[in-house]
Structure 1
């Protein structure tokens, strides 16, 4: 059972962090090169609608598997090692940022596009980009700390 929890936890992290890296480093620049603003806004709305739908499932799985492993594998917070505490803190912070972005700027972007206000939609998309960039930095830090701590660092 511990192996299944660990695999689900790691796969969730890969989907989340990898999806953010793809969106920022590949999709966004390509969309800016190839599409005019209206098409780019529509594309990014569709991309984030799908990605956030995935994350509404993945983020709870990551948190729940992490807490379960914490309780059964690491014997709780008191007995766990430093990298587990850091992963827990950054994971909660990342989850909070995701919820704030999904319920804030993403909703604002959807509403602005529905109302035909491309300027407000673009401003909201920029706030989404900043939130995703912050979460990507935290996610990469978390992965590095997890790998470092896992092997005795």
Structure 2
């Protein structure tokens, strides 16, 4: 593999991770607290638009992060045997993060969309809160993954 290919894969991996983890950080640390100034119906409408746009980004970023990570793992490191512990941890936490996102999409986010479609504000609010909790868990995983990546790449 020429040096250009792993560099491109690494850049794709990094940009995808920045969009995914950064989007979660913005949503939890900035957007969520700022929503308090809106009335509940406005809050739900904004959630609907934010979720729709952000999850579209994640549906693109997540497969890019996974595919580029595996391409680097098998094309650059030669597989798990020759990869450092940090790569193993990144793979594990990345797969858990992907699973959590899928759980959000097919679970509380699907319930949120359905409740919004039926005009059931209470059910939509409960589902949005569940989405928030799972995004918070995924944010923690994403930050741990980023920290492990940084220390694994550059050492202590």
Q: Where on the TM-score scale, by shorter chain, does this alignment land: which range?
A: over 0.9
Shift of 1:138: 0.2
Matched residue, 2:22:
18
Shift of 1:58: 0.6
- Give the one of 84, 93, 106 matched to 1:103: 106
Matched residue, 2:119:
116
Shift of 1:128: 0.1
Shift of 1:83: 0.1
SS at match of 1:75: coil
Matched residue, 1:126:
129
Shift of 1:42: 0.7
Matched residue, 2:139:
136
Q: Deviation per CA, 1:109-132: give whole Å up to 9, x if none.
A: 011011111010000001000000
Does residue 78 of the first structure (1) align with residue 81 of the second (2)?
yes
Q: Which runs of 5+ in 1 are unaligned?
A: none
Distance 2:129 2:30 in 1: 16
Distance 2:100 2:122 in 1: 23
Does residue 41 of the first structure (1) align with residue 44 of the second (2)?
yes
Distance 2:148 2:49 in 1: 33
Distance 2:47 2:38 in 1: 11
Shift of 1:152: 2.5
Aligned structure 1 segments of 4 or more residues deviating by more than 4 angstroms: none
What count of residue pairs does the alignment treat as equivalent? 152
Two-structure CA RMSD over aligned residues (Å): 0.7
SS at match of 1:78: helix
Distance 1:50 1:136 in 2: 17
Distance 1:30 1:40 in 2: 10
